[in-house]
Amino acid sequence: MKIVIVGAGAVGSYLAQRFSLEGQDVVVIESDPRRAAQVQAALDALVITGNGASASTLEQAGLDEADLLVAVSSSDAVNVLACTAAAKLGIPRRVARVEDPELKAEVEALGVDLVIDPGEAAARDLLVLANTGHIAEMVEFADGGLVLVGAYLENDSAAAGATLADLRREMEGWHWLIAAVVRKGETLIGRGATTLEAGDHVLLIAEADRVKAPFELLGLTEQPADQVFVLGGTRLAGMTAEMLSERGVHTTLIDGDPERCRRFAEQLPHVIVVCGDPTDPGVMREAGVTEGDAVLALTGWDGENLLSCLVAKALGAGEVICRFNDTDLVGLLGGSGIDATVSSRLSAANEILRFIRRGVIHSAVTIPGSDAEALELEVGSTSPAVGKMLSELNLPKSVIVGGVQRGGKAFVPRGNTTIESGDHLIVIALPEGIPAAEALSG
Q: What is the pLDDT of residues 387-426, one digit of tens each?
A: 999 999 999 999 999 999 998 899 999 889 999 999 999 9
The answer to whether 84 and 58 are in contact (CB under 8 A) is: no
Whole-Å CA distances, 151 to 157, 180, 290, 350: 12, 11, 22, 19
pLDDT at position 201 over 90: no
pLDDT at residue 134 in the model: 63
Strand 176-183, strand 409-411: pairing: unpaired
Q: Where are the domains of the chain?
A: 2-116, 226-317, 347-439
The pLDDT value recorded for residue 408 is: 86
The correct CATH number of 347-439 out of 3.30.360.10, 3.40.50.10320, 3.30.70.1450, 3.30.70.370 is: 3.30.70.1450
Mean pLDDT to the nearest integer, 207-225: 74
Bin 298: left if φ > 0, else alpha if -120 < ψ < 50, else beta. alpha
Round the average pLDDT of the chain to a whole number and report it.
Answer: 87
pLDDT of res. 21: 80
Residue 301: partners with Cβ closer than 8 Å, 6 or more residues away: none
| pLDDT value for 359 | 61
Indicate whether 94 pLDDT > 70. yes
pLDDT at residue 350 in the model: 77
Q: What is the pLDDT of residue 395?
A: 93
The values of phi and psi at residue 177, to 5°, are -155, 155
Higher pLDDT, 137 or 47: 47
Quick one: how far is CA 84 from the chain centroid?
28
Residue 352 has pLDDT above 90, yes or no: no
Going by C-alpha positions, the residue among 46, 104, 81, 11 that lies closest to residue 353 is 11
pLDDT score at 165: 87
Residue 180, φ and ψ in degrees, nearest 5: -160, 155
pLDDT value of residue 133: 58
Task: Encode pLDDT of 164-185 as tens digits.
Answer: 888 877 766 678 889 998 887 7
Q: pLDDT: is 437 or 338 the higher one?
A: 437
What per-residue confidence (pLDDT) applies to 333?
63
Q: Which residue type does 50 have?
A: G
The CATH homologous superfamily of the domain defined by 2-116 = NAD(P)-binding Rossmann-like Domain (3.40.50.720)
Domain 2-116 matches domain 226-317 at the CATH topology level: yes
Nearest to 126 by CA among 365, 295, 373: 295
Distances from the Cα of 2 to the Cα of 19, 46, 93, 271, 307, angstroms: 10, 11, 11, 46, 42
CA 242/CA 230 separation, integer angstroms: 10
pLDDT at 360: 61
CA atoms within 13 A on the CB side of 272: 13
pLDDT band at 280 (very low <50, low <70, confident <90, very high): very high
Whole-number pLDDT of residue 65: 93
Averaged pLDDT, 259-277: 96
Helix axes 118-129, 235-246, angle to 10 degrees: 50
With 90 as the cut, is the pLDDT of residue 228 above it?
Answer: yes
- pLDDT score of 438 more than 90: no
Which of 10 and 230 is assigned the larger pLDDT?
230
| Position 214 pLDDT exceeds 80 | no
pTM beyond 0.75, yes or no: no
Superfamily designation of domain 226-317: NAD(P)-binding Rossmann-like Domain (3.40.50.720)
Is the per-residue pLDDT at 33 higher than 80?
yes
Intra-chain end-to-end CA distance of the chain, in Å: 17
Lowest-confidence pick of 146-155, 197-206, 352-361, 411-420: 352-361
pLDDT at 61 over 90: yes
Most confident by average pLDDT, 16-30, 63-77, 175-189: 63-77
pLDDT at 332: 62
Q: Is 361 helix (H, G, I), strand (E, B) or coil?
A: strand
Q: Is the pLDDT of residue 385 over 80?
A: yes
- For residue 313, pLDDT beyond 70: yes
pLDDT at 331 over 70: no
The pLDDT value recorded for residue 137 is 75
Quick one: what percent of the chain has pLDDT higher than 90? 48
**What integer pLDDT is reported at residue 422 of this predicted model?**
93
pLDDT at 434: 87
- The average pLDDT across 190-200 equals 88
Percent of the chain residues past pLDDT 70, beyond the cut = 93
Inform me whether the pLDDT recorded for 38 exceeds 80: yes
Q: Choose between 131 and 214: higher pLDDT.
A: 214
Spatial CB neighbours of 14, under 8 Å, sequence gap ≥ 6 = 327, 345, 346, 349
Section 88-111 average pLDDT: 86
- Helix (H) or strand (E) holding 204, with range, is strand 201-207
Nearest residue to 363 (alpha-carbon basis) of 201, 143, 118: 143
- 261 closest CA partner among 239, 234, 288, 298: 234
Q: Taking residues 377-385, report their average pLDDT.
A: 92
